[in-house]
């Protein structure tokens, strides 16, 4: 493998990042865009306005109806507790039509447990595709693709800040020039494959913030600072406080620059003049923040060091971008080394192409070749006759019935399996109750036996010392008391020694009496506890037969349990079986949805073909060359209806056919995303160096390989 001595990049990497590589390895001059020809700007503006006509949220209606559908679904599942709100580009007005649908699910009362799993289950039943749960993120998310519209959807949980920041972005986007500028940056980032946070580049949201920052910094500013009002609006989320104040008053800019000239200035700024090591993008500040003051200076290795294998450590604050409300959130924390290299390559590429007078279309050329004349949505149906299509529909409908039957039987089987599982769990629970009853008896018996033992020892110990029964001691005490207290016969007095002996005998009797009482009490307690102990022994014996009884009773009531080994392991097996059945059910559901979609598509085509003056469908799949211009209709809207099987006027139909069916939008979206994913796939192997090329080169040279 040939490795560049200066940079450490392999040939493959050099080819992947050619502009960046030439800056890192040689002393080529960084082009300047300060004196761009006016005619060039005029041409570029013309081009941009053409692109702007094409982009836009052609799927707005699908988004709306899908949002309504999902809202209903989630509210039925979580009752009135659930609240669904859209955010992101479908509300900010910053959609290119290719973005995802961002929804936020929040709860008015307590959030249900295992909520992501519940949502995923619900979506599966709906036949949604590629369902992924991301439970560990700060904001948990379920991602999926709507099988009908093909829209990618993110449902995030309690994403309150996103609702507020979307509202603010909507405010910024009210200004036409600001909106169009952001759209063009998003367009460029999307076509060049650098707008996917989860694959290590920047999110569309981050590109939006960078765009706004640029427009705030032009002279005079094109965009205002909507967070400068002074009056705070504090909210608390999970114990943290955020100021979500947002000045939505109209802003009149004195800046006269056109979109093209603003875009050129954008690339000039971010490709060469923005020092990512010292500057933090901050739209709430209206201009860059000092990275050192914010404690966001870059730490860790440079991207180049990572991609060339010199370091495996983590990079921090590689392209610091502050979230306008969550000031601790750096949107570049998702950027990986390869992503940072690719972003910088794209900045450099745009700068070079612009300096060479290349068009905006060239700058935004998709990273993978896209088929500019894609097959249309009905291409395979055009040369088929209506009757055979109708027959196909009938066959597919019969298949749907079969699939539904299969689903029904699988669901019933799973239901039975689940019931048996519940029964098993219940049985184990009941016998567990008996077992735990036994445990608690044993737990009580242990101290009881010890106490009985103790009492016995006390009693016997005393009795060993005092052989005389209590009654006898009492009598002796009375006798001695009488004798010691009787009137003294002066002529017959006892000797002093004898009297002392009587007294000590009396005291001894007293002590014996006390001990004897203690012994009696111990004996009484001993008897009582022995009785209790006997009762517990009986209860213990009972539990054995109880366990048998429970099992017999349950098997009698539920013959299904006969022969089943009532053991926790069996429960696990049953659970696994139920899961397997659920998987088969999901597969059948997606088969059903697939079939229904195909039926809808063929039906839509038959409607189109027959309503077109009862003409036979066209034989060739390519749009006709010299077709007359379709009447003015909103083609995106018509395509939208065609994809969902809606009806059209003849004018609309005409327009649709002359634009190649509904494929225009569909295929472009597909190709552009597939282009991106290709780029992303290959991007994984890529690497980068620090975003400022001059720094990178210095580092590269210093650490060159010999």
Does the N-terminal peptide bond of residue 220 adopt cis geometry, omega within 30 degrees of 0? yes
Radius of gyration of the chain (CA): 42
In whole angstroms, give the CA distance from residue 573 to residue 560: 16
**Per-position x/- string for 271-310, each x denoting binding to ligand CTP as judged by CB under 6 A, each - no binding:** ----------------------------------------
Residue 519 contacts ligand CTP per CB under 6 A: no
Q: Does 128 bind ligand CTP (CB under 6 A)?
A: no
| CA-based end-to-end distance of the chain | 14
Is residue 88 part of the contact set for Mg ion (CB under 5 A)? yes
Q: How far apart are CA 482 and CA 463, in angstroms?
A: 27
Q: Strand, helix or coil at 243?
A: strand
Strand, helix or coil at 97? coil
Residue of the chain from 58, 99, 193, 660 that contacts ligand CTP (CB under 6 A): 99
- Listed in sequence order, the residues at least 6 apart from 117 whose beta carbon sits closer than 8 Å to its beta carbon are 133
331 binds ligand CTP per the rule CB under 6 A:
yes
Q: Where would I find the H helices in 79-138? A: 89-92, 115-125
**246 sits near ligand CTP (criterion: CB under 6 A):** no
100 is a site residue for Mg ion (CB under 5 A): yes
Given ligand CTP, Mg ion, none, residue 307, with its beta carbon under 5 to 8 Å by kind, binds: none
Stretch 346-375: interaction string toward Mg ion, x if CB under 5 A: ------------------------------
Q: Please report whether residue 140 would count as binding ligand CTP according to CB under 6 A.
A: no
209 or 407, CB closer to ligand CTP?
209
Is residue 196 close enough to count as binding ligand CTP by CB under 6 A?
no
94 near ligand CTP, rule: CB under 6 A: yes
Calculate ∠ Cα 207-210-214, nearest 5°. Answer: 140
87 belongs to the binding site for ligand CTP (CB under 6 A): yes
Going through 511-605 in order, the beta strands assigned E by DSSP cover none
Q: Greatest CA separation found in the chain?
A: 162
Angstrom distances, CA of residue 507 to CA of 188, 269, 454: 111, 111, 28
- Supply the DSSP symbol for 632: S
Name the segment binding ligand CTP (CB under 6 A); options: 88-96, 358-366, 433-441, 628-636: 88-96
CB 337 within 8 A of CB 683: no
Rule CB under 6 A: say whether 95 interacts with ligand CTP: yes
# chain residues binding Mg ion, by CB under 5 A: 5
Please check whether residue 189 is in contact with residue 204, taking contact to mean a CB–CB distance below 8 angstroms.
yes
| Count, residues near ligand CTP per rule CB under 6 A | 20
The answer to whether 675 contacts Mg ion (rule: CB under 5 A) is no
Exposed, middle or buried by CB within 10 Å (0-12, 13-18, 19+), for 671? middle
Residue nearest to Mg ion (CB): 88
153 and 87 in contact (C-beta within 8 Å)? no
Smallest separation, CB 90 to Mg ion (Å): 7
* Residue 165 interacts with, from Mg ion, ligand CTP, none (CB under 5-8 Å by kind): ligand CTP
Check residue 89 for interaction with ligand CTP (CB under 6 A).
Answer: yes
Single out the residue of 203, 225, 227, 246 in contact with ligand CTP (rule: CB under 6 A): 203
Alpha-carbon dihedral sign for residues 688, 691, 692, 695: negative
> Which of Mg ion, ligand CTP, none does 588 bind, CB closer than 5 to 8 A by kind?
none
According to the binding rule CB under 6 A, does residue 676 interact with ligand CTP? Answer: no
Which CB, 334 or 555, lies closer to ligand CTP? 334
Cβ count near 102 (within 10 Å): 26
Residues numbered 144 to 173 that lie near Mg ion (CB under 5 A) are none
Q: Which helix (H) or strand (E) holds 398?
A: helix 386-465
In whole angstroms, the minimum distance from the beta carbon of 189 to ligand CTP comes to: 9
Q: In the complex with ligand CTP, which residue's Cβ is closer, 9 or 91?
A: 91
Judged by the rule CB under 6 A, the positions of this chain that interact with ligand CTP are 87-89, 92, 94-96, 99-100, 102, 161-162, 165-166, 169, 203-205, 208, 331
- Give me the residues that bind Mg ion (CB under 5 A), please: 88-89, 99-100, 102
């Amino acid at each position: 493998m040939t490795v560049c001595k200066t940079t450490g990049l392999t040939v493959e990497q050099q080819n992947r990042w050619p502009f960046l590589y030439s800056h890192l390895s040689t002393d080529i001059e960084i082009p300047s865009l300060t004196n761009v020809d006016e005619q060039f700007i005029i041409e570029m503006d013309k081009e941009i306005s053409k692109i702007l006509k094409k982009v836009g949220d052609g799927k707005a209606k699908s988004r709306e109806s899908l949002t309504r559908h999902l809202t209903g679904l989630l509210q039925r599942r979580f009752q009135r507790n659930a609240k669904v709100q859209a955010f992101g580009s479908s509300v900010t007005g910053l959609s290119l039509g290719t973005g995802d649908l961002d929804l936020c699910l929040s709860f008015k009362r307590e959030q249900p447990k295992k909520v992501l799993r519940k949502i995923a289950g619900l979506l599966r039943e709906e036949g949604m595709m590629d369902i992924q749960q991301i439970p560990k993120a700060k904001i948990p998310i379920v991602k999926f693709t709507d099988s009908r519209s093909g829209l990618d959807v993110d449902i995030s949980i309690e994403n309150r800040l996103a609702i507020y920041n979307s509202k603010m972005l909507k405010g910024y986007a009210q200004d036409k020039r600001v909106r169009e500028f952001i759209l063009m940056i998003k367009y460029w980032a999307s076509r060049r494959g650098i707008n996917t946070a989860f694959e290590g580049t920047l999110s569309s949201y981050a590109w939006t913030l960078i765009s706004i920052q640029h427009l705030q910094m032009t002279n005079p500013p094109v965009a205002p600072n909507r967070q400068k009002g002074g009056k705070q609006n504090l909210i608390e989320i999970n114990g943290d406080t955020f100021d979500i104040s947002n000045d939505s008053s109209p802003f009149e800019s004195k800046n006269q620059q056109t979109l093209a000239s603003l875009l050129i200035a954008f690339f000039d700024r971010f490709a060469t003049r923005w020092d990512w090591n010292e500057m933090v993008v901050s739209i709430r500040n209206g201009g860059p923040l000092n990275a050192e003051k914010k404690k966001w200076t870059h730490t860790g290795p440079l991207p180049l060091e990572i991609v060339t294998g010199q370091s495996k450590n983590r990079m921090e604050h590689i392209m610091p971008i502050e979230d306008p409300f969550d000031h601790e959130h750096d949107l570049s924390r998702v950027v990986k080394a390869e992503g940072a290299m690719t972003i910088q390559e794209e900045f450099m590429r745009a700068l070079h192409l612009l300096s060479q007078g290349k068009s905006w279309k060239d700058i935004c050329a998709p990273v993978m070749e896209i088929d500019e004349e894609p097959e249309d949505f009905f291409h395979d149906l055009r040369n088929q006759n209506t009757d055979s299509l109708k027959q196909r529909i009938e066959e597919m409908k019969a298949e749907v019935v079969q699939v539904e039957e299969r689903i029904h039987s699988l669901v019933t089987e799973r239901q039975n399996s689940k019931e048996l599982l519940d029964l098993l769990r219940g049985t184990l629970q009941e016998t567990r109750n008996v077992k735990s009853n036994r445990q608690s008896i044993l737990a009580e018996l242990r101290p009881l036996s010890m106490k009985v033992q103790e009492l016995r020892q006390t009693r016997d110990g005393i009795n060993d010392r005092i052989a005389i029964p209590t009654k006898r001691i009492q009598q002796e005490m009375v006798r001695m008391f009488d004798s010691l207290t009787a009137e003294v016969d002066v002529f017959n007095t006892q000797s002093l020694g004898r009297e002392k002996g009587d007294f000590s005998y009396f005291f001894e009797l007293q002590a014996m009496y006390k001990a004897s009482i203690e012994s009696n009490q111990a004996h009484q307690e001993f008897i009582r506890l022995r009785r209790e102990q006997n009762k517990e022994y009986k209860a213990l014996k009972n539990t054995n037969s109880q366990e048998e009884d429970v099992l017999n009773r349950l098997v009698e009531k539920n013959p299904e349990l006969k022969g089943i080994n009532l053991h926790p392991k069996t429960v696990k097996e049953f659970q696994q079986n139920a899961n397997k059945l659920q998987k088969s059910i999901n597969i059948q559901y997606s088969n059903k949805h697939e079939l229904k979609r195909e039926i809808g598509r063929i039906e839509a085509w038959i409607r189109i073909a027959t309503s077109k003056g009862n003409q036979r469908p066209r034989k060739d799949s390519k749009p006709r060359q010299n077709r007359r211009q379709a009447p003015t209709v909103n083609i995106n809207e018509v395509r939208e209806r065609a994809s969902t099987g809606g009806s059209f006027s003849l004018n609309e139909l005409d327009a649709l056919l002359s634009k190649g069916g509904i494929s225009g939008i569909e295929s472009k979206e597909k190709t552009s995303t597939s282009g991106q994913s290709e780029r992303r796939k290959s991007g994984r192997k890529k690497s980068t160096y620090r975003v400022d090329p001059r720094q990178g080169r210095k580092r590269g040279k210093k650490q060159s390989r010999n």
